[in-house]
Amino acid sequence: MARVFLVLIACVFLVVTSVWAGPLDVRVKNVRTPSSAVTATVELRDVIPDRFRKLVEDGAVLHLRVQTELWESRPVWDRLVYPAIVSVFRLGRAPAARTISITDTSGAAPMPMADPLPVIVNLGDSNRVTASERYYVHVVATLGMLADQEVDAVGDAVFGRAAETNGLGSLGRLVFRTVLQVSDYLQSVTAEVKSRRLSGQDVLQR
């Protein structure tokens, strides 16, 4: 009976995995230092799976969370060079619009959703990178829906309250006070990738 129970658990796990797995694909295109900061270009493809697209077209809001890290590759324990950078985007459709738009935490006007979607991440100061060492970028992208109260809280933190129309309200849109955690999502799809190993000299290229 114990063996049968374990088989049933395994089957349920496989079914759940297949249901929640999505086509969301993430890639690291390049890691460079165009100025004094190290930047990574992350490219996301097939961002909105079909099961989420219908919800968005019906007025639901999705949140895309992109966590980017630069690691130093070592023989025993790899070292995290900078604290993880978390970028959050809001995906939705205006009532009168036919296309899905995306808004980032800067409070800029919504832009049409692109596929592939490039995300440029400022990782940190270049003085923490050594030319003789080797590095890689680790990215985890999560797309999903939040509970209603979480959507309201994130919307206020990212975009400012509707009543905030003065300069202070505009400034509030630039200050992202809430970082979404993966555990906040009611349902989600996740993609994860590590870039190839790069020499510090390559990373420091301008």
Residue 6 has pLDDT above 60, yes or no: no
109 SS3 class: coil
11 SS3 class: helix
Identify residue 62 by its one-letter amino acid code.
Answer: L
Q: Assign 182 a pLDDT band (cuts: 50, 70, 90).
A: low
C-alpha to C-alpha distance for 190 and 138, rounded to whole angstroms? 13
The pTM assigned to this predicted structure is 0.74
Instruction: Please check whether residue 119 is in contact with residue 44, taking contact to mean a CB–CB distance below 8 angstroms.
Output: yes
Beta bridge partners, 40, equal 31, 121
Residue 110, preceding peptide bond in cis (omega within 30° of 0):
no
How large is the average pLDDT for residues 176-190?
Answer: 66
Q: Assign 198 a pLDDT band (cuts: 50, 70, 90).
A: very high
- The pLDDT score that the predictor gives to residue 96 is 66
If we measure between CA atoms, which residue out of 90, 85, 88, 106 comes closest to residue 174? 106
| Residue 37 or 95, more confident | 37
C-alpha to C-alpha distance for 91 and 32, rounded to whole angstroms? 28
How large is the average pLDDT for residues 182-202?
Answer: 87
If we measure between CA atoms, which residue out of 80, 61, 57, 65 comes closest to residue 137? 80
- The pLDDT score that the predictor gives to residue 139 is 96
In total, the chain counts a number of residues equal to 206
